[in-house]
Amino acid sequence: MALLEIRDLDAGYGDLQILDGVDMDVGSEAYVAIVGPNGAGKSTVMKSVFGLTTYMGGSIEFDGEEISGLGPSEIITRGLSYVPQSDNVFAGLTVRENLEMGAYTLDGVPESRVEAVFERFPILEERQGQRAGSLSGGQQQMLAMGRALMLDPDLLLLDEPSAGLAPDLVAEMFDRIDEINEAGTAVLMVEQNAKEALRRCDRGYVLVQGQNRHEDTGRALLDDERVRADFLGG
């Protein structure tokens, strides 16, 4: 049994259906990427898993339990954290306050979790008293990821973690994600930087117009001529 099992999922916004029969699996400790053209519904998959879209049919099981129809505040307590594509930090709060927000479902904020996040992202410790809005794009992305790690989730949903970063920072961001995954957290990631994502992940899905188009190991998708021609620039 996979940690996350999405079956025949239909979802969208109000009356507007975007996802049409989507199937995806993420095993425990797996590293899975979703790639595809702009507007394909990649972010909508992530939002649907986290309870932020209109559910229209199918099922989403996490750790063997149905979570479709639950809201984010319930879902997060089950071991699933989500880093949105944009606006993913509280700009007016300090770095430390942002991290503390990540543990708002707990009675108190365990200092050991803050320390664990600082260990993974030393820059956040250095900048802990600074307002999040004053950080660079890459640092804000690390803060958003740090906040999502505060509850030590079993599955981390990352929507475009490398978007807008300079090339050297893109590599660093991917290295960080690799480390998080190697430490035992399953990762489901949407990436515009499809080649790099497929090189690193165990499994990938190509989503087109709200439907599964291809699914295979990252390596096989990279080598698949149809995928290369359509999405990877030949």
Q: Does 122 bind ligand ATP (CB under 6 A)?
A: no
Q: Is the dihedral of CA 185, 46, 215, 194 positive or negative?
A: negative
Q: Which of 3, 48, 27, 29 is nearest to 159 (CA)?
A: 48
Q: Which of 3, 8, 1, 4 is nearest to 23 (CA)?
A: 8
Nearer to ligand ATP, 44 or 98 (CB): 44
Which of 6, 40, 114, 177: binder of ligand ATP (CB under 6 A)? 40
Q: Which stretch binds ligand ATP (CB under 6 A): 10-18, 97-105, 131-139, 140-148?
A: 10-18
Q: Does 43 bind Mg ion (CB under 5 A)?
A: yes
| Three-point CA angle 118, 140, 222, nearest 5° | 95
Nearer to ligand ATP, 33 or 99 (CB): 33
In the complex, minimum distance from the CB of residue 49 to ligand ATP, in angstroms, rounded to a whole number: 12
Q: Does 48 bind ligand ATP (CB under 6 A)?
A: no
Q: Which of 211, 218, 224, 76 is nearest to 154 (CA)?
A: 76
Q: Does 193 bind ligand ATP (CB under 6 A)?
A: no
**Residues that contact Mg ion, how many (by CB under 5 A):** 2
| Three-point CA angle 87, 48, 148, nearest 5° | 45
Q: Does 1 bind ligand ATP (CB under 6 A)?
A: no
Residues 6+ apart with CB under 8 A from 80: 4, 49, 50, 62, 67, 153, 154, 155, 157
90-109 mask for ligand ATP (x: CB under 6 A)?
A: --------------------
**Residues that contact ligand ATP, how many (by CB under 6 A):** 12
In the complex, minimum distance from the CB of residue 210 to ligand ATP, in angstroms, rounded to a whole number: 7
In the complex, minimum distance from the CB of residue 190 to Mg ion, in angstroms, rounded to a whole number: 6
In the complex, minimum distance from the CB of residue 227 to ligand ATP, in angstroms, rounded to a whole number: 16
Which of 15, 38, 108, 129: binder of ligand ATP (CB under 6 A)? 38
The structure tokens listed for 223 are 């080598």
Q: Does 39 bind ligand ATP (CB under 6 A)?
A: yes
Q: Which does 1 bind (CB under 5 to 8 A by kind): ligand ATP, Mg ion, none?
A: none
Alpha-carbon gap, residue 79 to 71, rounded angstroms: 13
Q: 78-89 as b/e, with b when 16 or more CB fall inside 10 Å?
A: ebbbbbbbeebb
Q: Does 18 bind ligand ATP (CB under 6 A)?
A: yes
Q: Which of 93, 90, 89, 70 is nearest to 80 (CA)?
A: 70
Instruction: Please report, as ranges, the residues that interact with ligand ATP according to CB under 6 A.
Output: 13, 16, 18, 36, 38-44, 85
